[in-house]
Amino acid sequence: MDKKKIVILDAWATVPGDISWEPIAQMGDLTIYDRTPPELIAERIGDAQIVISSKVEIGRDVFEQCPNLEYIGLLSTGFNVIDIDAAREFGITVCNVPGYGTMAVAQMAMALLLEITNMVGLHAKAVNEGKWVESPDWCFWLKDHMELDGKTMGIIGYGAIGQAAGRMANAFGMRVVGYSPVPQTELDSEMVRTTLDIEDVFREADVVLVSAPLNEGSRNVIRAETIAKMKDGVIIINIARPGHVVEEDVVAALESGKIRGFGADASSTELTNGHTVLENRENCYLTPHIAWCPYETRVRLIDMVVDNLRRYLDGNPIHVVNP
């Protein structure tokens, strides 16, 4: 039987040459594109049966032009770039990769928090500029540091990532208040209290971490109204999606001092490809959606993508998002 044609539309962002695609190549006739602009999506898929993609938007118009397409394997957990309803209508199976980056994303949450509390980057830069040599004292610091022991981290979205970040916070001596819309009392302990009331997070947290899925209940959860309910000098970390945050309100709270620091691995830039008002703001730390990208995490991701495709070809698909 002829091998199925497989097309990877945006390989480079996930695998910039450091992980082999050979396991997928062994399952079909593979063509790899590093990036694919919108106008070339249908042409590059052509008569292929299988597409592997991360952030390329694929919808009804593509399905209509590519009648052989039967499977989309996502290089991500999120699947908002695919028109799921249309895929189901056209009989196309869409599979994602859940849970591959839990620890890496939680680790990034702590990295952003520690940059705000300890400012390693700021002080390393100062040392490299000669400021330590010039200092009249045996050490110096440019801004006050903050100790985490005894503080409270409030986590909005106490799922796998939130719980992983909570365990890391506990290791720093922080108490955790974990908000979820479903009861999780089995997770309660001396250092962790779960709650169904998000107001508990706003009222009690010294550090607010957003790790929730983006939906109508969590959209714009960080806005002027909710920030006003938080402690003065609160630290806010967004490790989820840009839609959780009203960026202009965060800027205002940074400028007033209500927020001590803001860190995010997600901003409106990824939605608009334009600048965000958060850029170049004092006490604001942005990273370009890289929490998921450690080498070990990406190896795990590719292994799961391979397994998803193998299971599909064997007639037993897993991680199907449009059953």
Domains of the chain are 5-100+295-313 (3.40.50.720), 102-286 (3.40.50.720)
Q: What is the pLDDT of residue 305?
A: 98
Give the pLDDT of the chain (323 residues) as one tens digit per residue.
579 999 999 999 999 999 999 999 999 999 999 999 999 999 999 999 999 999 999 999 999 999 999 999 999 998 989 999 999 999 999 999 999 999 999 999 999 999 999 999 999 999 999 999 999 999 999 999 999 999 999 999 999 999 999 999 999 999 999 999 999 999 999 999 999 999 999 999 999 999 999 999 999 999 999 999 999 999 999 999 999 999 999 999 999 999 999 999 999 998 888 999 999 999 999 999 999 999 999 999 999 999 999 999 999 999 999 99
End-to-end CA distance of the chain: 27
Question: Cβ(288)–Cβ(108) under 8 Å?
Answer: no
Known active-site residue 244: no
Alpha helices by DSSP H, the chain: 22-25, 41-45, 60-65, 84-89, 102-118, 120-128, 131-134, 160-171, 198-204, 224-227, 247-256, 269-272, 295-313
The dihedral sign for the CA sequence 167, 171, 172, 175: positive
* DSSP secondary structure letters along 126-152: HHHTTHHHH-SSS---SS-----TT-E
Q: Which of 123, 289, 298, 319 is catalytic?
A: 289
Among 213, 161, 158, 207, smallest CA distance to 187 is for 158
Q: Which of 70, 115, 204, 270 is catalytic?
A: 270
Q: Which of 241, 244, 298, 319 is catalytic?
A: 241
Question: Cβ(290)–Cβ(108) under 8 Å?
Answer: yes
pTM for the full model?
0.93
Known active-site residue 190: no
Q: What is the pLDDT of residue 1?
A: 58
Known active-site residue 43: no
